[in-house]
Structure 1
């Protein structure tokens, strides 16, 4: 199966607490990290694929390689094959470290890397996955899955925020625990709910 997420911001201490931008009501980054790991692994199987649309972590150490090592350790605890799309907080050094410490699981490398985005087909539709929201104009059957803007939504029905802080979970009939990657059926439910909301506003 395929799943989608963004903006986990592992280790990002400044996000802890309640805010309008990225509410993270955790006492520590360890608690936040573990909550995401646990909720992720309750849903994702080792043979599944997760598209992570950027801003994996924000963690600075001296020497810097210690933070790359810590992030790699967290990602290695997550089930599934991870397709990593580079976000504005993801360094080239991190991707190089992950590439150099890329375990083989279920016959393939755990991590794959993309600088800009990924396009896949799903049920007569295309998902164009990027970190930043993309303004595609008038399109047929193309949905931009993105992150970056945390607790905000682009006022365009073809754009769906899949970040862990997304407000677009309001279109789901059942809420998912914090940090749980979204399934394709949940993405489609968001797409349908947002399209209906726009139709009702006309």
Structure 2
């Protein structure tokens, strides 16, 4: 019998980065404690057979050796969407793929993945979702976009079902759609 796999999303671990603890109010005393907690949280959810899309900023302040050691301990087939802190030490890790922006379909849902939040993205009018990192839970989600970084999701990777459950509670529509509706109302068009 074939094992059912799950696809996960995450971002912004900043392995080795002492400053992110203070900057984001993370509950760790130092980077070593944070790194170990993030590895445990990842592996508590992601199995070796699962897939994870990591939306940037894997490490900051970690040596190439430490990056390799942490990467090897993390479960799953790991894909990278590059972030602003993903230098050579991260890019040389054995990711299954690397992208600046990628469009995928998971469970019949179109996804646009980028480290950065976008105001508009491909297929937004047809229900595609945009997942991003970088903002460390400082940008509110819209009905079709959200931050998948660890600061927004209790320091663990998240599934599409969990993302969709959160988005179902949001009223703010994507800016491109909201502005088109507002312009239509200004011109007397029914939205």
Question: Would the TM-score normalized by the shorter structure come out above 0.5?
Answer: yes
TM range, smaller chain: 0.7 to 0.9
Aligned-pair CA distance for 1:41: 0.8
Query: What is the aligned counterpart of 1:26 among 8, 22, 28?
Result: 28
Partner of 1:94: 90
Unaligned residue ranges in structure 1 (runs of 5+): 61-66, 103-110, 170-177
Aligned-pair CA distance for 1:113: 3.1
Q: Name the CA distance, whole Å, in 2 between partners of 1:141 and 1:154.
A: 18
Aligned-pair CA distance for 1:180: 1.3
Q: Name the CA distance, whole Å, in 1 between partners of 2:64 and 2:99.
A: 18
The answer as to 2:158 corresponding to 1:182 is yes
> Are the aligned partners of 2:38 and 2:156 in contact in 1 as well (CA < 8 Å)?
yes
> Are the aligned partners of 2:142 and 2:167 in contact in 1 as well (CA < 8 Å)?
no
Per-residue CA deviations over 1:95-140 (Å, capped at 9, x if unaligned) read 12x1xxx3xxxxxxxx223231221113442111100011216522
The answer as to 2:137 corresponding to 1:151 is yes
Q: Name the CA distance, whole Å, in 2 between partners of 1:124 and 1:78.
A: 27
- Paired residue total: 166
Q: Name the CA distance, whole Å, in 1 between partners of 2:98 and 2:148.
A: 17
Unaligned residue ranges in structure 2 (runs of 5+): 1-5, 174-191
Query: What is the aligned counterpart of 2:40 among 35, 38, 46?
Result: 38
Higher relative contact order (CA 8 A, sep 6+): 1
> Are the aligned partners of 2:21 and 2:27 in contact in 1 as well (CA < 8 Å)?
yes
Q: Name the CA distance, whole Å, in 1 between partners of 2:58 and 2:125.
A: 29
Query: What is the aligned counterpart of 1:69 among 65, 76, 81?
Result: 65
Q: Which moved more, 1:157-166 or 1:135-144?
A: 135-144
TM-score between the two structures when normalised by the length of structure 1? 0.75
Flag the 1:189–1:11 CA change in 2: closer, same or farther, 3 A.
Answer: same
Q: Name the CA distance, whole Å, in 2 between partners of 1:94 and 1:49.
A: 18
The answer as to 2:115 corresponding to 1:131 is yes
Partner of 1:164: 150
Superposition RMSD on alpha carbons, in Å? 1.9
TM-score between the two structures when normalised by the length of structure 2? 0.79
> Are the aligned partners of 1:145 and 1:161 in contact in 2 as well (CA < 8 Å)?
yes
